[in-house]
């Protein structure tokens, strides 16, 4: 039977490598979503996927590799992820307000029509 490195990751217990793979997949899906969507809400969903992929990597690395002492809990990654979640909520609120205002003025949320916003 030939050796496949992916088969190794499927049979091991869940570790940091698994979280990094899932985080990279989320990040890549988010970047593809931002690059291909013309709808402003689709672009916002892509941004959220990118931030969630980064959060997963922060949690994986923070709890696994940033433990300096045996007495620490290793919550550094979780604290950074919590900060990113708060930042994403603020970003979503401001972006949705902009999108709703744009929709009220132009009856569309197509980002190609956003060139009319220059003042």
Q: Which domain holds residue 10?
A: 5-117
Q: Which residues contact 54 (CB under 8 A, 6 or more apart)?
A: 23, 27, 84
Q: What is the mean pLDDT of residues 61-80?
A: 68
The domain tally of the chain equals 1
User: Which element (helix H / strand E) includes 23?
Assistant: helix 16-36
Q: What is the mean pLDDT of residues 71-99?
A: 82
Q: What angle do CA 41, 53, 103 make, to 5 degrees?
A: 10
Q: Of the ranges 8-12, 15-19, 25-29, 95-99, which one carries the lowest mean pLDDT score?
A: 8-12
pTM: 0.74
CATH of the domain at 24: 1.10.287.3510
What digits encode the pLDDT tens for the residues 18-66? 888 899 999 999 999 999 988 888 888 999 999 999 888 888 877 666 5
């Amino acid at each position: 039977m030939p050796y496949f490195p992916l088969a190794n990751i499927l049979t091991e217990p869940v570790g940091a490598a698994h979280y990094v793979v899932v985080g990279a997949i989320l990040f890549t899906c988010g970047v593809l979503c931002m690059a291909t969507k013309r709808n402003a809400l689709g672009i916002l969903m892509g941004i959220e996927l990118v931030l969630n992929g980064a959060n997963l990597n922060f949690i994986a690395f923070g709890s696994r590799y940033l433990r300096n002492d045996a007495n620490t809990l290793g919550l550094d990654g979780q604290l950074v992820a919590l900060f990113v979640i708060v930042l994403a909520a603020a970003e979503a609120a401001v972006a949705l307000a902009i999108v709703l205002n744009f929709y009220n003025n132009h009856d569309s949320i197509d980002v190609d029509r956003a060139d009319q916003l220059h003042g």
